[in-house]
Amino acid sequence: MDSIKLKTVFGSETVIFNLKVLTVAEENKIRASTFGLKDDEKEAKEYDNIVSVLSEHSAEAAHIPTLETVEVEGGKTETKEVLKPISVREYFQNRTAAKERIAHTAFRAWMVALQPSYDFL
């Protein structure tokens, strides 16, 4: 597995991320970037750190599903979902409550997806 595809939805906001699989050392470095910060410092920097990490470790651009009307046979039209590419930094450029939640959820889900599955025998 070279990448992890992750879809986040919050209200009307939907974004699909394609994130690289990290080594344990890379993951530890990312987690260490917020260690030792006070809560108020962490809050101020966390969004920017997460956006930076998601951007740096994207295997490709993020995608936003949009509906487009396309012409089909016989001059008829049809509405289809199209995935529009957008850079991670561009998507998160305007910070909103929804985008904060999407960034945090995408990051947390990615960290969980990096963990192999296991069974107790």
| pLDDT (tens digit per residue) in 33-74 | 766 677 777 777 888 999 999 999 999 999 999 999 988 888
Rounded CA-CA distance 108/27 in Å is 12
pTM: 0.82
Within-domain flag for 120: no
Structural domain contains residue 119: no
Per-residue pLDDT averaged across 108-117, rounded?
A: 92
Predicted confidence at residue 45, as pLDDT, reads 83
Mean residue pLDDT across the chain = 89
Domain that residue 26 falls in: 3-113
Has residue 121 been placed in a domain? no
Which range has highest mean pLDDT (30-44, 70-84, 86-100)? 86-100
Q: How far apart are CA 26 and CA 2, in angstroms?
A: 15
**Rounded Cα gap, residues 110 and 22, in angstroms:** 10
User: Could you give the number of structural domains in the chain?
Assistant: 1
Mean pLDDT, residues 104-108 taken together = 93
Q: What angle in degrees, to the nearest 10, is found between the helix axes of 97-113 and 39-56?
A: 70
For the chain, report the end-to-end CA distance as a whole number of angstroms. 25
